[in-house]
Structure 1
């Protein structure tokens, strides 16, 4: 069996996620059946603001069962986190070179409601691949797999682990003069600052 690149479904994934995709020629498979792990990029994205790095966290509905497959995790709309996230993104990037160019593509994720986190993350992933002109089709796992023939990155990219990007080349960021270069943020930081050059940066 041909090896495959196995990735989780993240919320506005970090730059390193797309670096892996861009560096690999294996078919891209997204994990649907893993037990949902807490405090990961599946529900959080990091952006650069005037005050430094800000974590945007998508709230989820916590069921009574401990182990829920990723595909069955529901988004919680008890408070208006969508408005908060979009205001934070606008405030952080409205002065970046390409935010206005992509704004209409992204605002719908903060105006429309998705029942399931997986669907929400996958729609964003498809848009991000399109915006960066990365021509990769997505496949999905049919069961949970732990087989070794896959290039398994399900646990490799984590907020509490060192970044997979070793000595990343700095690119222009809105608040670079204030905070210095902040590496491996959400890929929207790269996209809104670099636009069409994002793919060549990867």
Structure 2
């Protein structure tokens, strides 16, 4: 299966199930930015349950702005806040220390453009999963696709469907139960090298 998908901020499991099971992945690079999407947010499992991490962005005065042109608002020390949240949530997980040195630099090096930063996050996760991706990027935006399964809807946080992925052990699962479809980081820190096997075994409806 060849798929078309948005690069989002540490994508959720639905994104990565689609990516892991695809023969070829094309990343949408030329669309307009939309609010209320996973382009600048992700969800992790904090001590009090589901926790949203959002990247602050600089909104243009233009009615429409290309995703690739969207700048991050770095006056806020959001990177330090996000890393501290990840440490607090996953320091006691089985594989946090295993991947820490690869992921932590993403939160110390200044990032200017949201799309570039999301691609950097994605590449680090792909390396961590040891997932060799046959991928390409779009040059122009096309509403309809030919020869590819369109998974761009997965970026829409407002219309997210309910997924019944297999449960796995989560750090605070004994307090709040299993929380489905969190950031790929939740799976990676809890399942480690088994994460790719997990992704390949899940079912994702269109």
Matched, 1:21 2:19: yes
What whole-Å deviation, never above 9, does each CA across 1:87-131 have from its counterpart, x for those lacking one? 000000000000011111111111011111111000111111111
Identify which of 47, 62, 87 aligns with 1:65. 62
State how many pairs are aligned.
198
Q: Which runs of 5+ in 2 are unaligned?
A: 200-206
For structure 1, which runs of at least 5 residues remain unmatched after alignment?
none
CA 1:120–1:90 in 2, change beyond 3 Å: closer, same or farther?
Answer: same
TM-score by length of 1: 0.94
Structure 2 counterpart of 1:106: 103
Q: TM-score, normalised by structure 2?
A: 0.92
Partner SS for 1:130: helix
What residue in structure 1 maps to residue 38 of structure 2?
41
- Structure 2 distance, partners of 1:120, 1:22, is 21
- Contact 2:14-2:154 within 8 A present in 1 as well: no
Q: Please tell me whether the aligned partners of residues 154 and 160 of structure 2 are also in contact (alpha carbons under 8 angstroms).
A: no
Correspondence 1:54-133 to 2 at 5 A: 54-133=51-130
Choose from 165, 170, 179 the match for 2:167.
170
Higher helix share: 2
Runs of 4+ in 1 over 4 A off after TM superposition: none
Deviations 1:133-179 (A, max 9, x none): 111033110011123312111123432334463x2110000000000
- CA–CA distance in structure 1, aligned partners of residues 51 and 63 of structure 2: 28
Give the superposed CA RMSD.
Answer: 1.3
